[in-house]
Chains A and B, each alone.
Chain A
Amino acid sequence: MRDWALLGTVLALLSLATLGGQWLKRQTKMGLDEEAVYAFNSRIQAWWFFSIVLGISFFHPILTVVLFGMLAFWALREYITLTPTTMGDHRALFWVFFLFTPAQFVLVGFNMYSLYSVLIPVYAFLFIAARAAVSGDYRRFLERIAKIQFGLFVCVYCLSFVPALLFLKCQSTEGDESANARLLFFFITMVLFSELAQFVCSRLFGKHLIAEAIDETRTWEGLLGGAGATALLGSILFWATPFKNLWQVATMAILIAFMSSAGAITMAAIRRDRGEVRSGTLIEGHGGVLSRIDAVCFAAPVFYHVTLVFFGRAAG
């Protein structure tokens, strides 16, 4: 019953957002920034995609893990394409793509938290540095290592915590089989809604830009307003979550909203630095996965961890 209610709510929201986006696209007289409207619409598309994928998670958790694994692989591919690496990094990159990325998601699929929570930050990070050193190219060493490590961390490690939510055991929902799918659905809805709400609030009340050089549309008012709206929606969806009180849901929603904005602005900084020109011809026609999952990537590990600590089965 609760599953269907959640699905229905999300579908209604999505349809509303899609209609709004299409309406904005037609408003040529309002002097809206075309790029911003495009970004808004592409976020809605991503939301549709995620919702369909998550619909699957109610029936088949492993399939969801596989899908996110493929998404991570693609995002990493885009990231490394945009990042200058040298010949000396080639072998390290090979193992990053064909060993660590699949291994991370296999471990998530088997719910081996103690392994997948350290595989990348410990084993992969040390391996990348050592492998690059063995190749004998010492120029810009730290810079190169940091680039690969950051890419692997954000695109693979962080993203893998999204399907990991499907295996997180919470105290309050013991025995409820679809509770985890609802938790995942709740998380994704919060992330994507916070991005949209942030965008709309920036448009309506935005005065103080956060970082003009990086993003001309993101404002402090948008961030706060977006977080508020997300908290409101979170409270409305209270019944779908494993959290016990209304204030807990609201706090979680605000946390997700802040992390999402942090992710989006961080990735925007990277894109700015690498230059859109270069990404243009290479990533064109591939959909730009990376720019659509940035918010999810930052919010996922934090949301997972906070939920685990305060609401996990072992917690008090």
Chain B
Amino acid sequence: MLTETLLTLTARIISGVSVRWVDSQPDTCQRVYFANHTSHLDVVLVWSSLPADVRRLTRPIAAKDYWEGGSIRRHLAKVFNAMLIDRKEIKVHQSPVDMMLREIGKTHSLILFPEGGRSPGEEVGEFKSGLYYLGKKRPDLELIPVYINNMNRILPRGEFLPVPLLSSLTFGPPIWLEAGEPKLDFLARARDAVLSLKES
């Protein structure tokens, strides 16, 4: 509890984040928040920007290789209830999507970065297919696009000292997988949904 407050506060102070909900409201229903990924702080930032009751029910997906490196990171990952996914060894019968769905059950929501890794600069990379399979297996989940602005300058790739600029976080209206929508079309549409929040 104390670490949570401290972490939320630190993330907000360093990132000077202003959170906006555009055509969308915070809700405790089951959702998948998907965002562009530019900085190590992104996970903490999106998670801490949610209202406390929503936050308790939301589990960020994070890379196992990064968040299991060192005891501080491991402790932090526990505080924000992260679900650690092994990026390197994806087994056929133990697919990450199945694991995510099993873990969230009927109550939790997810925070996902579909680019897989952090993209350099301001660009948003192509989305990986995880989001598509989540939508296909659980069509009832609301898929909420999130655009993170300016974090790439606050803590860019390969840097460990942050520069305390201001950033913004925009939550957009939910999208769903249309019946029979091809995978690539959906992923492109999801990526556009994130990018369109940049201008709004």
Interface residues of A, Cβ cutoff 8 Å to B: 77-78, 80-81, 85, 87, 90-91, 93-94, 97, 281-286
Contact = CB atoms under 8 A, between A and B. Distances in A.
A90 B20 CA distance: 27
A314 B134 CA distance: 76
Nearest to B200: A281
Contacts of A94: 161-163
A102 B127 CA distance: 42
Which 5 residue pairs are nearest across A and B when measured between Cβ atoms? A285-B18, A81-B166, A93-B163, A81-B165, A281-B168
A286 B161 contact: no
Interface SS, A side: helix
A279 to B, nearest CB: 9
B163 A80 contact: yes
Given A281-B149, A282-B18, A286-B16, A77 B159 contact: no
B168 A85 contact: no
Contacts of A81: 16, 150, 165-166
24 contacts: A77-B165, A77-B166, A78-B166, A80-B165, A81-B16, A81-B165, A81-B166, A85-B153, A90-B153, A90-B156, A90-B159, A90-B161, A91-B159, A94-B162, A97-B163, A97-B164, A281-B149, A281-B168, A282-B18, A282-B167, A282-B168, A283-B166, A284-B20, A285-B18
Contacts of A285: 18
Q: Quick one: which of B20, B159, B162, B165 has the most chain A CB within 10 A? A: B165
Interface in B96-147: 121
B166 A91 contact: no
A97 B161 CA distance: 11
B200 to A, nearest CB: 8
Interface in B157-181: 159, 161-168, 170
A284 B16 CA distance: 11
B64 to A, nearest CB: 27
B163 A282 contact: no
Contacts of B168: 281-282, 284
Nearest to A285: B18
Contacts of B163: 80, 90, 93-94, 97
Contacts of B162: 94
A286 B164 contact: no
Q: Quick one: which of A78, A90, A286 has the most chain B CB within 10 A? A: A90
B16 A87 contact: no
A284 B168 CA distance: 9
A162 B168 CA distance: 31
A78 B167 CA distance: 10
A285 B166 CA distance: 11
A91 B165 contact: no
Contacts of B164: 77, 97
A286 B15 CA distance: 12
A217 B162 CA distance: 39
Contacts of A286: 16, 18, 166
Contact of B20 (A85, A87, A97, A281): A281
Given A81-B150, A85-B153, A87-B156, A284 B165 contact: no
B120 to A, nearest CB: 8
B19 to A, nearest CB: 9
Contacts of B153: 85, 90
